[in-house]
């Protein structure tokens, strides 16, 4: 849920976080402490385009309702505050707090300006808070890790406890070299080089915003794999920004991938679909996970935009939103292990089903659903047997010729989201587009969960095996919903449309 603002407009989302005013991009410093989730993010406090990079800040008790806080770590004349992470230093290894009041420590990239003796460099720095994130102090020994590089950034830090020892691990990137570099530290202040991974798989743009974490396979704590996330821009599977992941092992020193398809800086575009992608849409970037999340959950959030057109999206007074928070797991599917995702559901406890049908035969053509199935903010759950239909799906946010088309091609086994007629697409030449992902049927069925918000569509297919996230900018009257089948009949096993209760 976003903040309330006098700058509200038809596109201000209801269930996705936006800054009250101005620009935001990459999520940073995601951490849970003392009953509060902290979402920091790249923020320009002074305008609706990228610049004056500082850490914005929002807090939540439930990952759904966010309260915007004052800017946490501000840029100054010597440095911009680029992406990074935050940890709860539980045993006060840094010495910034006390055993009774352990500090929150932010590890961020200092992008040094011409006013700094380190002009042109990117290096890693610290800030700390002893009042649960309300105020932050920059460490007077910054930077703590400097490779004399212009593109060394985006540190993700976590506590490692394994056969190699117990220490902090930093996962960062040499962005232009498409390399992930790993370091270790006992106190967050002094860092020792461990290893380098890459380049591998998608290398069509710079590598940014890495993450590394361990997950059980099928919930089995005795069978785990490590997940290395690397975002890149451009070079994403749908064009522009995107996020990829590798599965493998981490021994406390080096990450070893089991899912590398291609190696080297030269990208093989013909094999792009073989890589592990976090999302197959245009608008899910810089996704990273929360540190210290309760219950051992791995919770991720991404910037719901794309660097190709992010600076010109047609919103007023604010620009860019975050995705819904997603819990990610590893699951065995068809003899392989894959990342599956489920959104933290804003309708889970506060939703009302306003339309439902089941066991309906879909004849060839389009069937418009009644008014109680319409809206600009909805969750749609559909279970479909394509049958003899060549194509079957949903028309979303429709009015006249304006619609966003979610379609399943039965012959090719491909799910697509077509936003070429979704509303305002003319603000950038690359916005009108169709996103596609291969989605095998399971027991002859296609299961879809779709979250519609005022300027976005997030699709989770086959219980989160594949996701597509896209922005859309439809007219205010484009709220109708339809089902369709082409080339043959299909069966709508079930369809449920859910609104938040205040909309019901």
Q: Which residues are tagged catalytic?
A: 26
Of residues 227, 317, 254, 321, the one with CA closest to residue 25: 321
Question: What gap in Å lies between CA 61 and CA 67, rounded to an integer?
Answer: 10
Give phi and psi for 496, each to the nearest 5: -130, 130
474: Cβ–Cβ under 8 A, 6 or more apart, which residues?
A: 376, 397, 399, 402, 404, 422, 423, 424
How does DSSP classify residue 20?
A: S
Q: State the sign of the Cα–Cα–Cα–Cα dihedral 143, 145, 149, 154.
A: negative
150: Cβ–Cβ under 8 A, 6 or more apart, which residues?
A: 120, 121, 122
Beta-strand relationship, 22-33 and 36-44: antiparallel
| DSSP result, 105-140 | EEEEEEEE-TTSTTTT-EEEEEEEESSTTSS-EE-T
Tokens of 198: 């890459």
How does DSSP classify residue 17?
A: -
Of residues 124, 148, 151, the one with CA closest to residue 138: 124
The CA radius of gyration of the chain, in Å to the nearest whole number, is: 22
C-alpha dist (Å) from residue 285 to 43, 179, 236, 307, 413:
15, 18, 9, 9, 26
* Residue 390 · residue 410 · CB < 8 Å: yes
57: Cβ–Cβ under 8 A, 6 or more apart, which residues?
A: 38, 39, 40, 41, 68, 69, 70, 71, 72, 133
């Amino acid at each position: 849920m976003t903040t309330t603002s006098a700058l509200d407009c038809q596109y201000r989302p209801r269930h996705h976080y936006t800054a009250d005013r101005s620009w935001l991009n990459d999520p940073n410093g995601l951490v849970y402490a003392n009953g509060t989730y902290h979402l920091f993010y790249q923020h320009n406090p002074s305008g609706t385009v990228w610049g004056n990079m500082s850490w914005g800040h929002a807090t939540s008790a439930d990952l759904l309702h966010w309260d915007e806080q004052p800017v946490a770590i501000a840029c100054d004349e010597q440095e911009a505050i680029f992406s990074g992470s935050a940890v709860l230093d539980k045993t006060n290894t840094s010495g910034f707090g006390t055993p009774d009041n352990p500090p929150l420590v932010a590890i961020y990239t200092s992008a040094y300006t011409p006013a700094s003796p380190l002009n042109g460099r990117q290096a890693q720095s610290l800030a700390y808070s002893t009042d649960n994130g309300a105020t932050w102090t920059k460490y007077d020994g910054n930077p703590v890790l400097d490779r004399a590089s212009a593109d060394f950034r985006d540190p993700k830090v976590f506590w490692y406890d394994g056969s190699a020892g117990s220490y902090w691990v930093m996962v960062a990137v040499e962005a232009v070299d498409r390399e992930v570099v790993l370091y270790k530290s006992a106190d967050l202040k002094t860092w020792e080089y461990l290893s380098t991974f890459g380049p591998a798989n998608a290398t069509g743009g710079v590598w940014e915003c890495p993450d590394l974490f361990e997950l059980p396979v099928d919930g089995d704590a005795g069978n785990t794999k490590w997940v290395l996330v690397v975002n890149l821009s451009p070079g994403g599977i749908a064009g522009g920004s995107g996020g990829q992941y590798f599965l493998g092992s981490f021994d406390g020193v080096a990450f070893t991938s089991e899912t590398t398809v291609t190696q080297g800086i030269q990208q093989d575009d013909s094999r792009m679909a073989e890589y592990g992608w976090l999302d197959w849409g245009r608008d899910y970037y810089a996704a990273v996970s929360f540190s210290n999340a309760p219950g051992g959950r791995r919770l991720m959030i991404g910037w719901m935009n794309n660097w190709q057109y992010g600076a010109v999206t047609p919103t007023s007074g604010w620009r860019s939103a975050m995705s819904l928070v997603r819990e990610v797991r590893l699951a065995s599917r068809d003899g392989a292990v894959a990342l599956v995702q489920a959104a933290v559901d804003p309708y889970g406890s506060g939703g009302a089903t306003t339309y439902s049908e089941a066991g309906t035969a879909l004849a060839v053509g389009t069937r418009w659903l009644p008014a109680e199935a319409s809206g600009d903010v909805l969750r749609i759950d559909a279970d479909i047997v394509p049958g003899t239909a060549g194509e079957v799906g949903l028309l979303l946010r429709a009015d006249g010729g304006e619609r966003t088309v979610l379609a399943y091609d039965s012959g090719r086994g491909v799910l697509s989201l077509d936003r070429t007629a979704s509303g305002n697409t003319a603000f950038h030449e690359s916005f009108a587009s169709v996103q596609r992902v291969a989605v095998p049927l399971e027991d002859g069925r296609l299961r879809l969960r779709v979250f519609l918000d005022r300027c976005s569509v997030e699709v989770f297919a086959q219980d989160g095996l594949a996701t597509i996230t896209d922005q859309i900018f439809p007219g205010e009257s484009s709220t109708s919903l339809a089902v369709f089948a082409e080339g043959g009949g299909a069966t709508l096993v079930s369809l449920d449309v859910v609104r938040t209760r205040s909309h019901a």
